[in-house]
Amino acid sequence: MKRLARMFAGLVAGPIGGPAAGLVTTLGLLVGCGRDAPRPGPAISEPYRSDIENLCDVIIRSGADQLAPGERALTTASWLAANLKTQDARDYMVAIQPLVGEPKANALDAEARRVGLARCALAAEWRTTVQ
């Protein structure tokens, strides 16, 4: 602990200009170094992550991949209603519902990445079909 205190005191004192110059230099370095560092967002619960994974893979998990693209909506909606566990996931679906095509796919891809998924099949599907 004393060693750490001496190191910090040395940073505060600085080599030139006394204690104030050292403090300004130290604060400048701390602010400058932290400026571009990613800021952690809110913690992501495992149930929410699982729900986003289910949303991304809904076409296969619901069995809708066996149907024609134009006939999948009811099957996927029913499956999601029965299988999404968190209100946050339901709220997310409501939030992106007004979006169409590429913006909707981009929003879902971004959320999938945010929760740690490498890809999102539903977003890819939305890019290839007109909604």
What are the tens digits of pLDDT across the range 39-66? 456 789 999 999 999 999 999 999 999 9
Q: How far apart are alpha carbons 115 and 41 in whole angstroms?
A: 11
Number of independent structural domains in the chain: 2
Entry pTM:
0.68
Q: Does the residue 39 lie in any domain?
A: no
Is the same domain home to 117 and 63?
A: yes
Is the same domain home to 19 and 52?
A: no
Q: Does the residue 40 lie in any domain?
A: no
Torsional class of 17: left (φ above 0), alpha (ψ -120 to 50), beta (otherwise): left
Query: What is the domain extent for residue 30?
Result: 2-34
Is the same domain home to 23 and 78?
A: no
119, pLDDT greater than 70: yes
Is the same domain home to 89 and 120?
A: yes
Give pLDDT, residue 38: 45
Max Cα-Cα span within the chain: 75
Q: H/E element holding 112?
A: helix 101-114
- Is there a contact between 76 and 63 (Cβ–Cβ < 8 Å)? no
Is the same domain home to 17 and 51?
A: no
Q: How far apart are alpha carbons 47 and 84 in whole angstroms?
A: 9
